[in-house]
Amino acid sequence: MTATEPSRTAAPEPAAGPARGDGEKGSAFVGLSRVMLLGFVRDKGTLFFTLALPLMFLLLFGVLYKGGGSTHVKVAEVGRVQVLDDARSQAQGALDALEITTGLSEADALAKVKKGDLDGLVMQKPDGTLVLRFSQADQVKAGTVQGIVNSVVQGANQAAANVAPKYSLDAAKVEDDSTKPIQYLTPGLLAYAIAMGAVYGASFTLVTWRKSRVLRRLRLAPISAGTVVGARVLVSVLVALAQTALFLAVAQIDYFGLKLTGDWWLVLPLVVCGTLAFMSIGLVTGSLAKTEESANGMNQLIILPMSFLGGAFIPLDFAPSWLQDVSRAMPLRYLIVPAKSVLSQGGGFAEALPAMGVLLAFTAVLSAVAWRFFNWDDA
């Protein structure tokens, strides 16, 4: 073991005295920010992992999942089906989720159900029996189509028996429209992208600057720790906002069709808080790791599980409850869930503010941990 010493200054000191020469006030902050920004744009690896790769994920998943996730069920009405027509004329709510096609022959309709173009077909036998054929390929839709048709038949039976329904169910979806994949893909992959950028930005700055002795050189310059940290925060936040702009621009093109709702701009303060939280993770790994390789390993070991468990790649709405509980421990979740809500589901301050609080508290705790392990040099 080499002897290390806990050499660190007590508190950020103010810059000393008036500078000589053609000094401009505050230029250390500008100079440091510029260095960090240049380090970012000149590193092809960083650009790829923080911008290109997450964007490729968005495009890929966006294309793959397009059309999926809709709760609309397509059904063919073969011949005339009295109950269905009656229900439709009475504008029963349950039928909203059915998209009914008419005019197909039984054979054609059956072929389409088998192929998956339709989710089911309904016809009425001369004796009044209602026939429903559906595909099990999509279990959710199979269940939906059975449930809806069943409720229509029961309603018709009660009406025929002249019995007023004793209980009625008024079911309606929370979302004004059915959830499209782009609505959860965008915040999920954006959060992943921001986590990559912020964690790596903070940890690699620490490790490379320590290794190349820049950190100890900075200690000998009359600048405060606050200036250095402030510049790093500024650059990481700029990168995160650029990622956000890029993701929202792509998600809103017609092909993907993301529609922003009301207070969508709340995603910006959420992104800032998320960036701070992820940077604090990078500060910890950058303080612990001596080399870029080990920092890289630690970062991946944290970001990947955090992204999966936090719901960056797959929505956790249908996950088992233990997984939901685990996800609540992931800072990423506190960016994804409220971002999804404010972006496209009409969420507002009530969704964003508590999550921002959690992210900032997380930042405070991890920054304190990082400070504990921080070292100016590795000797």
Ligand X SMILES: Nc1ncnc2c1ncn2[C@@H]1O[C@H](COP(=O)(O)OP(=O)(O)O)[C@@H](O)[C@H]1O
Q: Footprint of another protein on this chain (CB under 8 A)?
A: 1-3, 5, 7, 9-10, 13-25, 27-28, 30-32, 34-35, 38-39, 42-43, 208-209, 212-214, 216-223, 376
* Residue 20 binds which entry of ligand X, another protein, none, CB below 5-8 Å type-dependent: another protein
* Residue 9 binds which entry of another protein, ligand X, none, CB below 5-8 Å type-dependent: another protein
Q: Judge whether 260 and 303 are in contact, CB under 8 Å.
A: no
From residue 3 to residue 42, the character string flagging contacts with ligand X as x (rule: CB under 6 A) and all else as - is x---------------------------------------
Distance CA 157, CA 358 (A): 53
CB of 2 or CB of 168, closer to ligand X = 2
CB of 2 or CB of 162, closer to ligand X = 2
Distance CA 363, CA 361 (A): 5
Is 321 a binding residue for ligand X by CB under 6 A? The answer is no
* Residue 213 binds which entry of another protein, ligand X, none, CB below 5-8 Å type-dependent: another protein
Supply the minimum distance, in Å, between the C-beta of residue 206 and another protein. 13
CB of 264 or CB of 376, closer to another protein = 376
Q: How many residues bind ligand X (CB under 6 A)?
A: 3
Helix, strand or coil for residue 26? coil
Q: What spatial distance separates the first Cα and last Cα of the chain, rounded to whole Å?
A: 10
- Non-local (6+) Cβ contacts of 274 within 8 A are 191, 194, 195, 198, 240, 331, 332, 334, 335, 359
* Residue 163 binds which entry of another protein, ligand X, none, CB below 5-8 Å type-dependent: none
β-sheet bridge partners, residue 288: none
Supply the minimum distance, in Å, between the C-beta of residue 379 and another protein. 9
β-sheet bridge partners, residue 73: 98
From residue 340 to residue 379, the character string flagging contacts with ligand X as x (rule: CB under 6 A) and all else as - is ---------------------------------------x
Distance CA 375, CA 379 (A): 9
CB of 6 or CB of 126, closer to another protein = 6
Supply the minimum distance, in Å, between the C-beta of residue 213 and ligand X. 13
* Residue 88 binds which entry of another protein, ligand X, none, CB below 5-8 Å type-dependent: none
Is 2 a binding residue for ligand X by CB under 6 A? The answer is yes
Helix, strand or coil for residue 236? helix
CB of 118 or CB of 223, closer to another protein = 223
Closest to 260 measured CA to CA, from 338, 318, 344: 344
Closest to 331 measured CA to CA, from 301, 348, 351, 311: 311
Q: Judge whether 201 and 236 are in contact, CB under 8 Å.
A: yes
- Non-local (6+) Cβ contacts of 213 within 8 A are 377
β-sheet bridge partners, residue 130: 124
Q: What residue ranges bind ligand X (CB under 6 A)? A: 2-3, 379
